A and B are shown apart, each in its own frame.
Chain A
Amino acid sequence: MSGQAAVELKGGMYTLLSLQIHSIEADAIELALKNKVQQAPGFFKETPIVIDLSPVEHMPELDTDKLLQLVKDYNLVAIAARVNDKSSPAACSIKLPVLDAGGPRADKSADTAEQDKDGAKDTPATPELTSGGVIDMPVAGPTIVTRPVRSGQQVYAQGGELVVLGQAGPGAELIADSNIHVYGPLRGRALCGVTGNTDARIFCRSLEAELVSVAGNYKPLEEIPADLKGKPAQIWLDGDRLVIEALK
């Protein structure tokens, strides 16, 4: 038992979901939360999240207690709040540890960060500036599924890509925060970018899906072009238009 301390402090990087708040209206927040959770019931259950208050942190009307209660009601576990200014009203009132914005985000958008520094110190960052990278998650490794995904089964690749080597049967659900690749026939549902990544794409060798979705924009089988059925295809988001096209 010698040598090993009972506790040890270590630094670490963790993949976390962040919930960005764009409204101070509790009803609007609740509705949006409800919709999000309904898209993948079960997957948000007990998920640790960071509440990103930066768009609304300077609005004293925001009821942070109510917000935390809502988040709790939808089975999410808030572990911290993220703000740009630790002295803002929201940062002071929320009963959570407060994280400063910055970190990896700052070097990714260096220009924006520079602008922030040049501007008046107390000027809050506008929502436009921060909403560029809503979810700036360190990419997790791909989830690779070597067996067929059967009807009624759900696979969720949290924080990364999902690769399915076999088929996904009708009634199966493939869910990923990033891209989805399916090498067998895709007959079930495929939802990529479920946490808001609009750059996520679905690639498949035989498109027979019941439903495809990128960052919440979906199309059911009926709306999938008939000439693409059973063909290799990719699905991606162009603005808010879902594009389904042949893979050449």
Chain B
Amino acid sequence: MSKIIVVTSGKGGVGKTTTSASIATGLAQRGFKTCVIDFDVGLRNLDLIMGCERRVVYDLVNLVNQEASLQQTLIKDKRVDNLYILPASQTRDKDALTIEGVARVIHKLKQNEFDYIICDSPAGIEKGAKMALYFADEAIITTNPEVSSVRDSDRILGILQSESRRAKMDEEPVKEHLLITRYNPNRVQEGQMLSVDDIVDLLAIPLLGIIPESQAVLEASNAGKPVILDDESNAGQAYNDAIARLLGEERPHRFMEAQKKGFLKRLFG
């Protein structure tokens, strides 16, 4: 039985695509057959972060319009087995998607025995975002530690509760996970960012993980390589912890404490 997970936030630029890429890669590394779909039609980014932008021939809109087959459209990842990317179209806009069309794509993926389908949502609360979350069984709410991001996450949680397929069919509600990205404990200590406790208190959903603000994320994006593959980095390790928790493992949260700067670091920054 395929599980559909939407990565969403309401607000833009908080790390949805970075998270989608790393979560999909992490699940595939653990042996699950995984597909990650870019719903950001018109602003294609996922293929860049996954490093497969030169291999895009057909895209989600072609598939929705039945102009290409699933096998033609899916891009198999070169680094990790079991991982497939379904890119967005660069030339179309979100109106090209329909619920019936997306339903057909999801159905085909299920027939092909994918264990996980990760939906990378566009920002906003309009059609594209609603399309991405409609079929979700679980949702990873990506939030930065600042007030407007948390407010938008609250809004998107409301939409999940009322406009997802599960809500409309009166099924068990979408399972919600909170993922805090770009967390910087030093700035929290200085009062420039909301703390983990503040955010959990405001949103009242279970915490899946805390991804520390890290140079490694930017470097990984530029290199077209999901940051989870960078075992050395804090961010990569934090995504690994999040995957473990997503699969039901208990792991203590890390990267919450401010780093004490050593003598030399204080001198030279």
Contact of A171 among B154, B159, B204 (CB under 8 A): B154
Cα distance A150–B205 when bound, in Å? 12
| Contact size range, A | 10 to 19
Secondary structure dominating the interface of A = loop
Contact of A150 among B158, B173, B201 (CB under 8 A): B158
Which B-chain residue is minimally distant from A170 (CB atoms)? B151
Known: A170-B151, A171-B151. A151 touches B204 (CB 8 A): no
- Chain A residues with Cβ below 8 Å from B202 are 169, 187
A interface residues, Cβ below 8 angstroms from B: 147-153, 166-167, 169-172, 184-185, 187
A150 touches B151 (CB 8 A): no
B151 touches A151 (CB 8 A): yes
Cα distance A151–B152 when bound, in Å? 8
| Contact size range, B | 10 to 19
A153 touches B204 (CB 8 A): no
B154 touches A169 (CB 8 A): yes
Shortest beta-carbon distance, A146 to chain B, in Å? Answer: 11
B162 within 8 A of A: yes
Shortest beta-carbon distance, B171 to chain A, in Å? Answer: 14
Contact of B158 among A152, A167, A185, A187 (CB under 8 A): A152
Interface residues of B in 189-222 (CB under 8 A from A): 201-202, 204
Cα distance A187–B150 when bound, in Å? 13
Interface centre among B154, B157, B201 (most CB of A within 10 A): B154
B155 within 8 A of A: yes
- Chain B residues with Cβ below 8 Å from A151 are 151-152, 154-155, 158
Shortest beta-carbon distance, B233 to chain A, in Å? Answer: 33
Shortest beta-carbon distance, A205 to chain B, in Å? Answer: 13
B161 within 8 A of A: yes
- Chain A residues with Cβ below 8 Å from B201 are 185
Cα distance A118–B54 when bound, in Å? 94
Interface residues of B in 149-177 (CB under 8 A from A): 151-152, 154-155, 157-159, 161-162, 173
- Chain B residues with Cβ below 8 Å from A185 are 201
Known: A166-B204, A184-B204. A171 touches B155 (CB 8 A): yes
- Chain B residues with Cβ below 8 Å from A153 are 158, 161-162
Interface residues of B in 121-167 (CB under 8 A from A): 151-152, 154-155, 157-159, 161-162
Interface centre among A148, A150, A172 (most CB of B within 10 A): A150
Can you list 7 contacts pairing A with B, beta carbon distance less than 8 Å?
Answer: A150-B158, A151-B154, A152-B159, A153-B161, A153-B162, A169-B151, A170-B154
